[in-house]
Chain A
Amino acid sequence: MTLKARVIPCLDVKDGRVVKGVNFLDLVDAGDPVEAAKAYDLAGADELCFLDITASSDNRETIFDVVARTADHCFMPVTVGGGVRAVTDIRKLLLAGADKVAINSAAVSNPDFVAEAADKFGNQCIVVSIDAKKVSAAGEANRWEIFTHGGRNPTGIDAVEFAGRMVERGAGELLVTSMDRDGTKVGYDLELTRAIADSVRVPVIASGGVGDLDDLVAGVKQGHATAVLAASIFHFGTYTVGEAKRYMADHGIAMRLD
Protein backbone atom coordinates (compact mmCIF):
# COMPACT_ATOMS: atom_id res chain seq x y z
CA MET A 1 0.00 0.00 0.00
CA THR A 2 1.62 3.19 -1.07
CA LEU A 3 1.14 6.44 -2.92
CA LYS A 4 1.34 5.82 -6.66
CA ALA A 5 3.37 7.75 -9.22
CA ARG A 6 1.14 9.86 -11.47
CA VAL A 7 1.01 10.12 -15.24
CA ILE A 8 -0.32 13.51 -16.33
CA PRO A 9 -1.17 14.22 -19.96
CA CYS A 10 -0.96 17.91 -20.77
CA LEU A 11 -3.07 19.69 -23.37
CA ASP A 12 -2.04 23.02 -24.85
CA VAL A 13 -5.18 25.04 -25.37
CA LYS A 14 -5.49 28.23 -27.42
CA ASP A 15 -8.76 30.13 -27.80
CA GLY A 16 -10.58 27.09 -26.42
CA ARG A 17 -9.09 24.64 -28.91
CA VAL A 18 -6.31 22.04 -28.66
CA VAL A 19 -3.28 23.55 -30.36
CA LYS A 20 -2.04 20.45 -32.10
CA GLY A 21 -4.80 18.11 -33.15
CA VAL A 22 -4.99 15.15 -30.88
CA ASN A 23 -4.37 12.07 -32.88
CA PHE A 24 -5.80 9.16 -30.95
CA LEU A 25 -8.96 7.16 -30.64
CA ASP A 26 -11.97 8.18 -32.66
CA LEU A 27 -12.65 11.59 -31.29
CA VAL A 28 -15.72 13.36 -32.53
CA ASP A 29 -13.76 16.59 -32.55
CA ALA A 30 -10.00 16.21 -32.21
CA GLY A 31 -9.65 19.92 -31.59
CA ASP A 32 -12.00 19.99 -28.61
CA PRO A 33 -10.00 19.82 -25.37
CA VAL A 34 -12.99 18.30 -23.58
CA GLU A 35 -13.12 15.35 -26.01
CA ALA A 36 -9.40 14.78 -25.43
CA ALA A 37 -9.89 15.08 -21.67
CA LYS A 38 -12.64 12.45 -21.72
CA ALA A 39 -10.44 10.08 -23.71
CA TYR A 40 -7.53 10.55 -21.29
CA ASP A 41 -9.90 10.00 -18.37
CA LEU A 42 -11.04 6.68 -19.87
CA ALA A 43 -7.42 5.72 -20.57
CA GLY A 44 -6.59 5.98 -16.85
CA ALA A 45 -4.79 9.32 -16.66
CA ASP A 46 -4.07 10.15 -13.02
CA GLU A 47 -4.57 13.87 -13.52
CA LEU A 48 -5.05 16.22 -16.38
CA CYS A 49 -3.25 19.47 -17.14
CA PHE A 50 -4.54 22.25 -19.37
CA LEU A 51 -2.02 24.86 -20.40
CA ASP A 52 -3.83 27.90 -21.74
CA ILE A 53 -1.66 29.71 -24.29
CA THR A 54 -4.38 32.06 -25.48
CA ALA A 55 -2.62 35.29 -26.34
CA SER A 56 -5.54 37.67 -26.55
CA SER A 57 -7.16 38.66 -23.29
CA ASP A 58 -10.47 38.84 -25.19
CA ASN A 59 -10.43 35.08 -25.53
CA ARG A 60 -9.30 34.27 -22.00
CA GLU A 61 -12.86 33.35 -21.09
CA THR A 62 -12.67 30.31 -23.36
CA ILE A 63 -10.58 28.36 -20.85
CA PHE A 64 -13.26 28.66 -18.16
CA ASP A 65 -15.75 27.04 -20.49
CA VAL A 66 -13.28 24.25 -21.31
CA VAL A 67 -12.66 23.57 -17.61
CA ALA A 68 -16.37 23.68 -16.77
CA ARG A 69 -17.31 21.25 -19.55
CA THR A 70 -14.47 18.94 -18.50
CA ALA A 71 -15.69 18.94 -14.90
CA ASP A 72 -19.11 17.84 -16.15
CA HIS A 73 -17.65 14.60 -17.48
CA CYS A 74 -14.32 13.83 -15.83
CA PHE A 75 -14.06 12.97 -12.16
CA MET A 76 -10.32 13.33 -11.92
CA PRO A 77 -8.03 16.12 -10.74
CA VAL A 78 -7.47 18.96 -13.20
CA THR A 79 -4.68 21.54 -13.12
CA VAL A 80 -4.87 24.67 -15.24
CA GLY A 81 -1.92 26.89 -16.08
CA GLY A 82 -1.25 29.85 -18.31
CA GLY A 83 -2.16 33.45 -17.62
CA VAL A 84 -2.79 32.94 -13.88
CA ARG A 85 -1.87 36.36 -12.52
CA ALA A 86 -4.49 37.33 -9.96
CA VAL A 87 -6.54 35.85 -7.15
CA THR A 88 -9.65 36.42 -9.27
CA ASP A 89 -8.17 34.23 -12.06
CA ILE A 90 -7.70 31.41 -9.54
CA ARG A 91 -11.16 31.75 -8.04
CA LYS A 92 -12.78 31.61 -11.48
CA LEU A 93 -10.80 28.52 -12.46
CA LEU A 94 -11.67 26.74 -9.20
CA LEU A 95 -15.33 27.63 -9.53
CA ALA A 96 -15.27 26.29 -13.09
CA GLY A 97 -14.01 22.95 -11.74
CA ALA A 98 -10.20 23.13 -11.63
CA ASP A 99 -8.53 21.62 -8.58
CA LYS A 100 -5.14 23.24 -8.90
CA VAL A 101 -3.66 26.16 -10.78
CA ALA A 102 -0.14 26.46 -12.12
CA ILE A 103 1.47 29.88 -11.67
CA ASN A 104 4.35 30.64 -13.98
CA SER A 105 5.59 34.12 -14.89
CA ALA A 106 3.61 35.82 -12.13
CA ALA A 107 5.59 33.76 -9.61
CA VAL A 108 8.81 35.18 -11.05
CA SER A 109 7.69 38.79 -11.31
CA ASN A 110 5.77 38.81 -8.03
CA PRO A 111 6.66 35.99 -5.60
CA ASP A 112 4.27 37.44 -3.03
CA PHE A 113 1.41 36.48 -5.33
CA VAL A 114 2.23 32.83 -4.62
CA ALA A 115 2.00 33.50 -0.88
CA GLU A 116 -1.27 35.39 -1.30
CA ALA A 117 -2.74 32.59 -3.44
CA ALA A 118 -1.60 29.86 -1.04
CA ASP A 119 -3.07 31.71 1.94
CA LYS A 120 -6.37 32.11 0.18
CA PHE A 121 -6.81 28.71 -1.47
CA GLY A 122 -4.40 26.46 0.43
CA ASN A 123 -0.95 25.23 -0.58
CA GLN A 124 -2.45 22.08 -2.10
CA CYS A 125 -4.06 24.20 -4.78
CA ILE A 126 -0.97 26.13 -5.88
CA VAL A 127 1.46 24.60 -8.35
CA VAL A 128 4.43 26.76 -9.28
CA SER A 129 5.59 26.11 -12.80
CA ILE A 130 9.35 26.48 -13.21
CA ASP A 131 10.79 26.85 -16.73
CA ALA A 132 14.56 26.42 -16.57
CA LYS A 133 17.53 26.19 -18.89
CA LYS A 134 20.99 24.90 -18.11
CA VAL A 135 23.43 27.81 -18.07
CA SER A 136 26.57 26.18 -16.70
CA ALA A 137 29.34 25.45 -19.18
CA ALA A 138 30.74 21.96 -19.72
CA GLY A 139 32.94 21.02 -16.80
CA GLU A 140 31.30 23.51 -14.43
CA ALA A 141 28.96 22.50 -11.63
CA ASN A 142 25.38 22.25 -12.92
CA ARG A 143 23.47 25.49 -12.81
CA TRP A 144 20.01 26.23 -14.20
CA GLU A 145 18.36 29.59 -14.70
CA ILE A 146 14.67 30.55 -14.79
CA PHE A 147 13.47 31.70 -18.21
CA THR A 148 10.15 33.34 -18.95
CA HIS A 149 8.11 33.98 -22.08
CA GLY A 150 8.41 30.46 -23.45
CA GLY A 151 12.14 30.30 -22.81
CA ARG A 152 13.08 33.56 -24.51
CA ASN A 153 13.77 35.80 -21.53
CA PRO A 154 16.54 35.01 -19.05
CA THR A 155 15.96 36.24 -15.49
CA GLY A 156 19.30 35.58 -13.80
CA ILE A 157 17.43 33.61 -11.12
CA ASP A 158 18.87 30.24 -10.08
CA ALA A 159 16.23 27.55 -10.60
CA VAL A 160 17.00 25.40 -7.55
CA GLU A 161 17.13 28.39 -5.24
CA PHE A 162 13.90 29.75 -6.74
CA ALA A 163 12.20 26.38 -6.16
CA GLY A 164 13.05 26.58 -2.45
CA ARG A 165 11.72 30.11 -2.20
CA MET A 166 8.47 29.15 -3.91
CA VAL A 167 7.90 26.33 -1.42
CA GLU A 168 8.53 28.77 1.44
CA ARG A 169 5.89 31.04 -0.04
CA GLY A 170 3.38 28.20 -0.09
CA ALA A 171 3.68 26.28 -3.35
CA GLY A 172 2.21 22.84 -2.73
CA GLU A 173 3.77 21.28 -5.79
CA LEU A 174 6.35 22.21 -8.43
CA LEU A 175 6.07 21.59 -12.17
CA VAL A 176 9.63 21.57 -13.45
CA THR A 177 10.07 21.99 -17.20
CA SER A 178 13.42 21.89 -18.95
CA MET A 179 13.25 24.47 -21.72
CA ASP A 180 16.31 22.84 -23.26
CA ARG A 181 14.45 19.57 -23.61
CA ASP A 182 10.90 20.73 -24.32
CA GLY A 183 9.79 19.32 -27.65
CA THR A 184 13.08 17.46 -28.27
CA LYS A 185 11.95 13.91 -27.38
CA VAL A 186 15.35 13.13 -25.84
CA GLY A 187 14.02 12.79 -22.29
CA TYR A 188 13.65 14.96 -19.20
CA ASP A 189 16.61 16.90 -17.85
CA LEU A 190 16.98 14.40 -15.02
CA GLU A 191 19.71 16.30 -13.22
CA LEU A 192 17.52 19.41 -13.08
CA THR A 193 14.51 17.42 -11.91
CA ARG A 194 16.50 15.63 -9.23
CA ALA A 195 18.32 18.77 -8.06
CA ILE A 196 14.96 20.40 -7.36
CA ALA A 197 13.12 17.30 -6.11
CA ASP A 198 15.88 16.54 -3.60
CA SER A 199 15.95 20.10 -2.30
CA VAL A 200 12.24 20.55 -1.48
CA ARG A 201 9.65 18.76 0.65
CA VAL A 202 6.78 19.12 -1.85
CA PRO A 203 6.07 16.82 -4.82
CA VAL A 204 7.78 17.57 -8.14
CA ILE A 205 6.25 16.93 -11.57
CA ALA A 206 8.84 16.29 -14.31
CA SER A 207 8.14 17.93 -17.66
CA GLY A 208 9.74 18.64 -21.00
CA GLY A 209 11.32 16.29 -23.50
CA VAL A 210 9.60 12.91 -23.23
CA GLY A 211 10.25 10.74 -26.29
CA ASP A 212 9.50 7.24 -25.04
CA LEU A 213 8.31 5.33 -22.01
CA ASP A 214 11.80 4.84 -20.58
CA ASP A 215 11.90 8.61 -20.14
CA LEU A 216 8.87 8.40 -17.83
CA VAL A 217 10.51 5.64 -15.79
CA ALA A 218 13.72 7.69 -15.54
CA GLY A 219 11.76 10.77 -14.44
CA VAL A 220 10.65 8.91 -11.31
CA LYS A 221 13.65 6.67 -10.66
CA GLN A 222 16.49 9.05 -11.53
CA GLY A 223 14.73 12.41 -11.47
CA HIS A 224 12.98 11.65 -8.14
CA ALA A 225 9.76 13.14 -9.49
CA THR A 226 6.47 11.86 -8.02
CA ALA A 227 4.57 12.64 -11.21
CA VAL A 228 5.48 12.71 -14.89
CA LEU A 229 3.91 15.02 -17.43
CA ALA A 230 3.92 14.46 -21.18
CA ALA A 231 2.10 15.91 -24.15
CA SER A 232 3.03 14.80 -27.62
CA ILE A 233 3.68 11.08 -27.01
CA PHE A 234 0.06 10.81 -25.93
CA HIS A 235 -1.49 13.27 -28.38
CA PHE A 236 0.09 11.68 -31.39
CA GLY A 237 -0.91 8.23 -30.23
CA THR A 238 2.68 7.01 -29.95
CA TYR A 239 1.68 5.47 -26.63
CA THR A 240 -1.53 5.38 -24.67
CA VAL A 241 -1.67 6.51 -21.06
CA GLY A 242 -2.52 2.92 -20.13
CA GLU A 243 0.57 1.58 -21.90
CA ALA A 244 2.71 4.15 -20.15
CA LYS A 245 1.39 3.17 -16.73
CA ARG A 246 1.77 -0.56 -17.32
CA TYR A 247 5.32 0.01 -18.58
CA MET A 248 6.21 2.00 -15.49
CA ALA A 249 4.65 -0.69 -13.27
CA ASP A 250 6.67 -3.36 -15.11
CA HIS A 251 9.77 -1.36 -14.25
CA GLY A 252 9.12 -1.47 -10.54
CA ILE A 253 7.24 1.80 -10.02
CA ALA A 254 4.06 1.61 -7.93
CA MET A 255 1.21 2.67 -10.26
CA ARG A 256 -2.58 2.86 -10.08
CA LEU A 257 -3.89 0.37 -12.61
CA ASP A 258 -7.57 0.18 -11.61
Chain B
Amino acid sequence: MRVAIIDYGSGNLRSATKAFERAAREAGIEASIELTDKPDVVAAADRVVLPGVGAYADCRAGLNAVSGMNEALVEAVENKARPFLGICVGMQLMSSRGLEKTTTEGLDWIKGDVIEMTPSDPDLKIPQIGWNTLELNSPHPLFDGIATGPNGLHAYFVHSYHLAAANPAEVIATTDYGGAMTAFVGRDNLAGAQFHPEKSQKLGLALISNFLRWKP
Protein backbone atom coordinates (compact mmCIF):
# COMPACT_ATOMS: atom_id res chain seq x y z
CA MET B 1 0.00 0.00 0.00
CA ARG B 2 1.30 3.43 -0.95
CA VAL B 3 0.47 6.28 1.40
CA ALA B 4 1.21 9.78 0.15
CA ILE B 5 1.71 12.52 2.71
CA ILE B 6 1.53 15.76 0.81
CA ASP B 7 4.49 18.09 1.28
CA TYR B 8 3.50 21.61 0.35
CA GLY B 9 5.77 23.47 2.71
CA SER B 10 3.50 23.27 5.71
CA GLY B 11 3.48 21.18 8.79
CA ASN B 12 5.62 19.08 11.07
CA LEU B 13 6.11 16.65 8.25
CA ARG B 14 8.79 14.51 9.83
CA SER B 15 6.66 13.64 12.84
CA ALA B 16 3.65 12.89 10.65
CA THR B 17 5.74 10.56 8.49
CA LYS B 18 7.29 8.84 11.50
CA ALA B 19 3.90 8.36 13.15
CA PHE B 20 2.47 6.72 10.02
CA GLU B 21 5.51 4.44 9.73
CA ARG B 22 5.22 3.42 13.36
CA ALA B 23 1.45 2.86 13.18
CA ALA B 24 1.85 0.70 10.07
CA ARG B 25 4.61 -1.35 11.71
CA GLU B 26 2.65 -1.88 14.93
CA ALA B 27 -0.48 -2.86 13.04
CA GLY B 28 1.48 -5.21 10.77
CA ILE B 29 0.40 -3.34 7.65
CA GLU B 30 2.71 -3.36 4.64
CA ALA B 31 2.81 0.30 3.73
CA SER B 32 5.27 2.59 2.09
CA ILE B 33 4.88 6.07 3.52
CA GLU B 34 5.94 8.69 1.01
CA LEU B 35 6.36 12.33 1.88
CA THR B 36 5.90 13.91 -1.51
CA ASP B 37 5.38 17.12 -3.43
CA LYS B 38 4.84 15.20 -6.69
CA PRO B 39 1.28 15.28 -8.06
CA ASP B 40 1.72 11.98 -9.93
CA VAL B 41 2.67 10.20 -6.70
CA VAL B 42 -0.44 11.61 -5.01
CA ALA B 43 -2.68 10.72 -7.95
CA ALA B 44 -1.41 7.13 -7.89
CA ALA B 45 -1.43 6.69 -4.09
CA ASP B 46 -3.70 4.21 -2.29
CA ARG B 47 -4.19 6.63 0.59
CA VAL B 48 -3.66 10.39 0.81
CA VAL B 49 -2.83 12.50 3.86
CA LEU B 50 -2.93 16.29 3.89
CA PRO B 51 -1.19 17.77 6.94
CA GLY B 52 -0.98 21.47 7.67
CA VAL B 53 -0.16 24.04 10.30
CA GLY B 54 -0.40 27.79 10.15
CA ALA B 55 -3.02 30.06 8.68
CA TYR B 56 -5.73 28.77 6.33
CA ALA B 57 -4.94 31.23 3.53
CA ASP B 58 -1.21 30.51 3.68
CA CYS B 59 -1.78 26.75 3.53
CA ARG B 60 -4.20 27.10 0.63
CA ALA B 61 -1.67 29.28 -1.20
CA GLY B 62 1.05 26.73 -0.45
CA LEU B 63 -1.08 23.93 -1.90
CA ASN B 64 -1.95 25.98 -4.99
CA ALA B 65 1.74 26.75 -5.49
CA VAL B 66 2.52 23.08 -6.15
CA SER B 67 1.71 22.79 -9.82
CA GLY B 68 -0.83 20.05 -10.51
CA MET B 69 -1.45 19.17 -6.86
CA ASN B 70 -5.08 20.28 -6.75
CA GLU B 71 -5.79 18.17 -9.84
CA ALA B 72 -3.96 15.21 -8.29
CA LEU B 73 -6.09 15.52 -5.16
CA VAL B 74 -9.27 15.52 -7.25
CA GLU B 75 -8.04 12.49 -9.18
CA ALA B 76 -7.11 10.43 -6.11
CA VAL B 77 -9.83 11.53 -3.71
CA GLU B 78 -12.83 12.36 -5.90
CA ASN B 79 -12.38 10.22 -9.00
CA LYS B 80 -10.69 7.16 -7.50
CA ALA B 81 -12.25 7.59 -4.03
CA ARG B 82 -9.02 6.77 -2.21
CA PRO B 83 -9.19 7.16 1.58
CA PHE B 84 -8.18 10.69 2.54
CA LEU B 85 -7.16 12.11 5.91
CA GLY B 86 -6.73 15.83 6.56
CA ILE B 87 -4.88 16.91 9.69
CA CYS B 88 -5.36 20.24 11.49
CA VAL B 89 -5.32 22.93 8.78
CA GLY B 90 -5.26 20.06 6.28
CA MET B 91 -8.67 19.10 7.72
CA GLN B 92 -9.83 22.72 7.68
CA LEU B 93 -8.97 22.95 3.96
CA MET B 94 -11.66 20.30 3.34
CA SER B 95 -14.26 23.02 4.06
CA SER B 96 -15.97 25.36 1.59
CA ARG B 97 -14.28 28.49 2.93
CA GLY B 98 -11.84 29.65 5.55
CA LEU B 99 -12.59 32.93 7.30
CA GLU B 100 -9.24 33.32 9.07
CA LYS B 101 -7.80 36.80 8.39
CA THR B 102 -9.44 36.83 4.94
CA THR B 103 -11.96 34.69 3.02
CA THR B 104 -10.30 31.78 1.23
CA GLU B 105 -11.91 29.05 -0.82
CA GLY B 106 -11.30 25.52 0.40
CA LEU B 107 -11.58 22.14 -1.32
CA ASP B 108 -15.34 22.21 -0.64
CA TRP B 109 -15.52 18.55 0.35
CA ILE B 110 -17.22 19.24 3.68
CA LYS B 111 -19.72 22.07 3.28
CA GLY B 112 -19.22 24.81 5.81
CA ASP B 113 -16.89 27.57 6.95
CA VAL B 114 -13.83 27.56 9.16
CA ILE B 115 -14.58 30.19 11.78
CA GLU B 116 -12.95 31.58 14.90
CA MET B 117 -13.82 29.68 18.08
CA THR B 118 -15.85 31.70 20.54
CA PRO B 119 -15.92 29.73 23.79
CA SER B 120 -18.82 30.57 26.09
CA ASP B 121 -16.34 30.93 28.97
CA PRO B 122 -14.30 34.10 28.38
CA ASP B 123 -11.51 32.76 30.61
CA LEU B 124 -10.74 30.02 28.11
CA LYS B 125 -7.55 30.77 26.22
CA ILE B 126 -7.26 31.09 22.45
CA PRO B 127 -5.59 29.13 20.86
CA GLN B 128 -6.79 25.97 22.53
CA ILE B 129 -3.44 24.27 23.14
CA GLY B 130 -3.28 20.88 24.79
CA TRP B 131 -5.08 17.63 25.46
CA ASN B 132 -8.82 17.23 25.35
CA THR B 133 -11.26 14.34 25.09
CA LEU B 134 -13.65 13.65 22.23
CA GLU B 135 -17.40 13.18 22.05
CA LEU B 136 -18.31 10.79 19.26
CA ASN B 137 -21.55 11.83 17.52
CA SER B 138 -21.71 8.78 15.30
CA PRO B 139 -19.60 5.64 14.98
CA HIS B 140 -16.79 5.83 12.44
CA PRO B 141 -14.27 3.16 11.39
CA LEU B 142 -11.37 5.45 12.27
CA PHE B 143 -12.47 5.37 15.92
CA ASP B 144 -12.75 1.57 16.13
CA GLY B 145 -11.38 0.42 19.47
CA ILE B 146 -10.68 3.97 20.65
CA ALA B 147 -12.26 5.00 23.94
CA THR B 148 -14.01 8.37 23.63
CA GLY B 149 -16.14 10.45 25.97
CA PRO B 150 -15.13 12.21 29.21
CA ASN B 151 -13.18 9.21 30.46
CA GLY B 152 -11.75 8.28 27.09
CA LEU B 153 -8.36 8.86 25.53
CA HIS B 154 -7.09 12.37 24.86
CA ALA B 155 -6.21 14.09 21.60
CA TYR B 156 -3.73 16.94 21.19
CA PHE B 157 -5.19 20.18 19.84
CA VAL B 158 -3.58 23.44 18.74
CA HIS B 159 -6.10 25.73 17.06
CA SER B 160 -8.01 29.00 17.19
CA TYR B 161 -10.49 28.18 14.43
CA HIS B 162 -12.80 25.24 13.77
CA LEU B 163 -14.91 23.89 10.96
CA ALA B 164 -18.58 24.79 11.35
CA ALA B 165 -20.00 22.09 9.08
CA ALA B 166 -23.28 22.79 7.33
CA ASN B 167 -24.38 19.17 7.63
CA PRO B 168 -24.27 18.03 11.28
CA ALA B 169 -24.10 14.41 10.12
CA GLU B 170 -20.61 15.10 8.78
CA VAL B 171 -19.35 16.11 12.22
CA ILE B 172 -18.19 12.75 13.54
CA ALA B 173 -16.69 14.00 16.81
CA THR B 174 -16.58 17.21 18.81
CA THR B 175 -14.46 18.45 21.69
CA ASP B 176 -15.73 20.66 24.47
CA TYR B 177 -14.06 24.04 24.67
CA GLY B 178 -16.70 26.37 26.02
CA GLY B 179 -19.12 24.63 23.66
CA ALA B 180 -18.86 21.79 21.17
CA MET B 181 -16.03 22.48 18.70
CA THR B 182 -15.61 20.31 15.60
CA ALA B 183 -12.87 17.75 16.24
CA PHE B 184 -13.40 15.26 13.42
CA VAL B 185 -15.32 15.33 10.16
CA GLY B 186 -16.08 12.60 7.68
CA ARG B 187 -18.18 11.46 4.78
CA ASP B 188 -17.61 8.60 2.33
CA ASN B 189 -13.83 8.23 1.78
CA LEU B 190 -13.07 11.61 3.40
CA ALA B 191 -11.90 12.07 6.98
CA GLY B 192 -10.37 15.00 8.78
CA ALA B 193 -9.00 15.55 12.29
CA GLN B 194 -8.72 19.00 13.82
CA PHE B 195 -6.37 17.50 16.41
CA HIS B 196 -2.93 16.08 15.64
CA PRO B 197 -3.05 12.25 15.50
CA GLU B 198 0.74 12.24 14.98
CA LYS B 199 1.12 13.98 18.36
CA SER B 200 -1.63 12.21 20.23
CA GLN B 201 0.26 9.16 21.42
CA LYS B 202 -2.09 6.18 22.02
CA LEU B 203 -5.20 7.68 20.45
CA GLY B 204 -3.23 9.02 17.52
CA LEU B 205 -1.42 5.83 16.62
CA ALA B 206 -4.65 3.83 16.92
CA LEU B 207 -6.48 6.26 14.66
CA ILE B 208 -3.70 6.19 12.06
CA SER B 209 -3.73 2.36 12.10
CA ASN B 210 -7.48 2.45 11.56
CA PHE B 211 -6.99 4.84 8.66
CA LEU B 212 -4.48 2.47 7.06
CA ARG B 213 -6.99 -0.41 7.38
CA TRP B 214 -10.01 1.64 6.37
CA LYS B 215 -12.07 0.40 3.40
CA PRO B 216 -14.67 3.09 2.86
Contact = CB atoms under 8 A, between A and B. Distances in A.
Interface of A: 1-6, 41, 46, 68, 71-72, 75-77, 94-99, 119-125, 172-173, 201-203, 226-227, 256, 258
B129 A76 contact: no
Given A99-B196, A203-B127, A227-B129, 5 more contacts: A1-B150, A6-B131, A201-B126, A203-B125, A227-B130
Contacts of B22: 75
A124 B13 contact: no
Interface in B49-101: 53-55, 58, 89
Contacts of A119: 55, 58
The 4 closest A-B pairs by CB, nearest first: A122-B54, A1-B176, A97-B14, A256-B131
A96 to B, nearest CB: 6
Given A1-B176, A94-B12, A256-B154, A124 B205 contact: no
A124 B127 contact: yes
A149 B156 CA distance: 33
A75 B130 contact: no
A256 B199 CA distance: 14
B175 to A, nearest CB: 7
B54 A97 contact: no
Contacts of A121: 53-54
Given A75-B19, A75-B200, A76-B199, A203 B53 contact: no
B130 to A, nearest CB: 5
Given A2-B132, A3-B131, A68-B14, A77 B156 contact: yes
B127 A76 contact: no
A3 B130 CA distance: 7
Interface string B163-202: 0000000000001110000000000000000001011111
Interface of B is mostly: mixed
Interface residues of B, number: 44
A76 to B, nearest CB: 6
Contact of A75 (B58, B154, B177, B199): B199
Nearest to A5: B130
Contacts of B160: 123-124
15 contacts: A1-B135, A98-B12, A99-B196, A120-B54, A121-B53, A121-B54, A122-B54, A124-B129, A125-B53, A172-B127, A172-B158, A203-B129, A203-B130, A226-B125, A258-B202
Contacts of A120: 54, 58
Contacts of B135: 1
Contacts of B53: 99, 121-122, 124-125
A71 B18 contact: yes
A79 to B, nearest CB: 11
Given A3-B128, A77-B199, A173-B129, A258 B14 contact: no
Given A75-B205, A123-B160, A201-B125, A96 B199 contact: no
